[in-house]
Amino acid sequence: MSFVIVPDTGCDLSKDLREQLGIEDYVRGIIYFSEDKEEFSSLDWEKMTPEEYYSSMRNLKNPYKTASTPMGEYVRVWTKYLEQGIDVLSISISSGLSTTFNEACIVARDLMEKYPGRIIRCVDSMRYSTSLALLVKLACDKRNSGATLEETVEFIEKSKGSIHQMGFMDDLNFLCKTGRISNFKAVMGSIVSVTPLADFNSRGMAEVIGKAKGRPAALRATIEYIKKTIINPEEQTIFVAHSLRKEWAEKLATSIEETFHPKEVILNDVGMTCGANIGPGLCCAFYMGNPISETMEEEKAILAKCIEETRQ
């Protein structure tokens, strides 16, 4: 193996998936379960189940808080490969959400001075949570097909703008509380029976581009939107992620299987780090589609049509 792919904790890849993809380690983030106690976040739910985690959020006065990863964590993970003569491809959570990518670049520069001859390439995924999981999986598949480090980086850069999200969130208040959305439109999306639907924008953030009336309508519009934006669905692995919405995630997964007959559909929990900022109530599909437009006007128009066509 000439290079390893190392994502960070924003990738929400389960232990099983990481094993399948050959990802031995990842860069952990920091999470505060109480105001004065910080811990490294984990992708593996040792402390509590996803249901316990998201259920507990409803009763909290202050949300769980995440914090930047200490540089020592990058050194911990990357150094063991560099010392074995293995190069590193680091895939970071979206720079629209976190400064992690900038920090990774600085650490990479430092370590390449310390290990001359070794290469660390850092990529800003412009995605987070399960969309980042999909990008990491695609990168691993590319590497496993024989691509070099540079070819894999080029592939990621070309592909990341085509990774779509479509689905709904019950409640955008957590994003407001944790500073991820400062726009008051996030709060307006929380009004009773209005279900915001979001896809990724050019800044690497999920942006609400339409609203359906209630979850059944949102699910129908989601399927129609995917139909109009997906490419080669039969060849794809499509992810469906949720935070405390398992029943709806299963409905969405079944609907995707019946409509698109993809290679596989993988159900995924939103992980602790992303979940601290997203909160409970998310149910979304993640897939490869047409490149997302700069202003999202095309995507908004497509979704508006989908909502109209599926209104009952």
Contacts with another protein, residue ranges (CB under 8 A): 30, 67-72, 75, 95-99, 102-103, 105-107, 109-110, 173, 176-180, 182, 184, 187-188, 190-192
Q: How far is the CB of 25 from another protein (least distance, A)?
A: 17
In angstroms, rounded to a whole number, what is the distance separating the alpha carbons of residues 278 and 177? 10
Q: 189: which 2 tokens?
A: 């999306």
Q: Is 190 helix (H, G, I), strand (E, B) or coil?
A: coil
Q: How far is the CB of 188 from another protein (least distance, A)?
A: 6
Q: Which of residues 188 and 231 has its CB atom nearest to another protein in the complex?
A: 188
In the block, tokens 């150094």 appear at: 79
Q: Which of residues 117 and 179 has its CB atom nearest to another protein in the complex?
A: 179
Q: Which of residues 69 and 222 has its CB atom nearest to another protein in the complex?
A: 69
Whether 121 contacts 153, CB under 8 Å: yes
Q: How far is the CB of 21 from another protein (least distance, A)?
A: 27
Q: 44: which 2 tokens?
A: 């593996």
In angstroms, rounded to a whole number, what is the distance separating the alpha carbons of residues 100 and 306? 36
Q: Which of residues 71 and 296 has its CB atom nearest to another protein in the complex?
A: 71
237-242 vs 264-269, strand pairing mode? parallel
* Total length of the chain: 312
Q: How far is the CB of 251 from another protein (least distance, A)?
A: 24
Q: Is 148 helix (H, G, I), strand (E, B) or coil?
A: coil
Q: Which of residues 103 and 199 has its CB atom nearest to another protein in the complex?
A: 103
Q: Which of residues 196 and 262 has its CB atom nearest to another protein in the complex?
A: 196
Q: Which residues contact 278 (CB under 8 A, 6 or more apart)?
A: 129, 169, 174, 175, 243, 270
Q: How far is the CB of 227 from another protein (least distance, A)?
A: 31
* 212 sits in which H/E element: strand 206-213
Q: How far is the CB of 72 from another protein (least distance, A)?
A: 4
163-169 vs 282-288, strand pairing mode? antiparallel
In angstroms, rounded to a whole number, what is the distance separating the alpha carbons of residues 125 and 91? 6
Residue 144: left if φ>0, alpha if ψ -120 to 50, beta else—which one? alpha
Q: How far is the CB of 44 from another protein (least distance, A)?
A: 22
Q: Which of residues 194 and 231 has its CB atom nearest to another protein in the complex?
A: 194
